[in-house]
Structure 1
């Protein structure tokens, strides 16, 4: 089983984007060096659908971001979006649109204003597999506000120096 290892600052940026765009779904990617499986550059994108139940990358922005990744020898390591009224689990539409077999699909639920659910999945040929999330460069307190998946073992903390 895979594991999504993500820096706390990137995760916090994704969650902030999801909360900021609520009640519409937020979407974006986290790029990383080709073949590294290390998400390193957060790229929030516009949901051109401007919908509470669906997201769609703006086609011109999508083209520009993918070209930029190509120029930088990067690939989309994480593709993320939010669900504003349901749990953080891929919908049938999400599954049918998943076209990056190597990507982690991170979902953030903003349905509850008090608790943010964050879950990561691999989606390959229509098969959804949940994977653990490992948050690095964070104190345990910094990620206590998130609910990660269904299992209590899906989060691994690495603390910043001094925490």
Structure 2
């Protein structure tokens, strides 16, 4: 199960809307071993595509060095689908390199860059196997 704050969920959705019609992508870092997403890191979709996302290799290298320095790991890897449902594509599965990460997908297919529903789903992707998991949205991690 992914437990995430409402503020982080809202930031992911806002990023997806802002980048529509291109796919948005990013990471939420958290303390190593905590499984707690804390630091929102929106990334540039280097592909600038409505059907594909790609992290810029230099940005990704910088991010991983920064996370290493801060004793963090990628707890959530997120991206948006702009014309299809929030479910991992074959390409998404082939790119999934973080076996401990929650892969969050949102879909702006219905709402575009405006108001309206944005499905928010989380998956585990390990060895090509997709498993959807429950998402619990909390106001904070305390209590």
Q: Deviations over 1:134-162 (max 9, x none)?
A: 00008xxxxxxxxxxxxxxxxxxx9xxxx
- 1:98 is aligned, of 78, 91, 96, to 96
* Deviation for aligned residue 1:115: 1.2
Higher relative contact order (CA 8 A, sep 6+): 2
Give the 5 Å matches for 1:78-117: 78-113=76-111, 114-117=116-119
> 2-side partners of 1:12 and 1:115: how far apart?
12
Match of 2:74 in 1: 76
* Deviation for aligned residue 1:125: 0.2
What is the TM-score when the length of structure 1 is the normalising length? Answer: 0.83
Aligned residue-pair number? 137
Structure 1 ranges of 4+ moved more than 6 A: none
Match of 1:126 in 2: 128
> 2-side partners of 1:10 and 1:66: how far apart?
20
- Report the aligned-residue RMSD: 1.1
> 2-side partners of 1:66 and 1:21: how far apart?
23
Match of 1:59 in 2: 57
Gaps (5+ residues) in structure 2? none
Match of 2:21 in 1: 23
What is the TM-score when the length of structure 2 is the normalising length? Answer: 0.94
Q: Which has the larger radius of gyration?
A: 1
> 1-side partners of 2:65 and 2:21: how far apart?
30
> 2-side partners of 1:116 and 1:27: how far apart?
15
> 1-side partners of 2:131 and 2:26: how far apart?
20
